[in-house]
Amino acid sequence: MSINHRDEAEKLLSSASTAMVAALEKELPLGDQQHAAVLAGILTNRALSHAMLAQGQMASADITAYRHLVRTMRFALVRQVAEGLALSEGDEAHQHALGLAKYLDSVDLNIDLEVDAYIEDIGWGNPRDAWLNPTARRAKWDAEMPNPWDPAPTTKQ
């Protein structure tokens, strides 16, 4: 069971406030007033400890939310670049995706390996081919796999 440090701090401060009222009560004997003042100090210190732990709990939740946001944004960038490289038919869209990847590289946010993995996941054999502009990519593929309907080349002796 986890402790709600904020609630604990509030309870302790309320008790410290009551103890401080007793410490200031002139009708109590001086010894009792002193004991109440010491108790108020102890309760206040404990409340401060719980308040600092509550702040840490909130910071931890904030950090978790921030990490999730960063992962989500990074995936969105990976997807945008990968799909822009692999699925674009025109050179302009491809150049935008390549430009975004280069910009991210320039600010130390290299995502190339993640882009390659995403491109593989969408069914490409060699993800590095997606980095070629569509015109060069088609030329490479045509050279690697000639059209089976083209007539066979003739050889002369």
DSSP 68: H
Whose tokens are 């590289």? That residue is 105
Domain boundaries of the chain, sorted by first residue: 5-144
Neighbours of 4 (CB within 10 A): 14
Inter-CA distances, 1 with 4, 30, 56, Å: 10, 41, 17
Read off the pLDDT of residues 102-143 as tens digits, 9 standing for 90 and up.
988 998 889 999 999 999 999 888 899 999 888 888 888 778
pLDDT of 93 above 90: no
The model's pTM: 0.56
Residues 6+ apart with CB under 8 A from 155: none
**Digit-coded pLDDT (tens) for 34-66:** 888 888 888 888 888 888 888 877 666 677 888
Average pLDDT, the chain: 84
What's the pLDDT score for residue 78?
A: 93
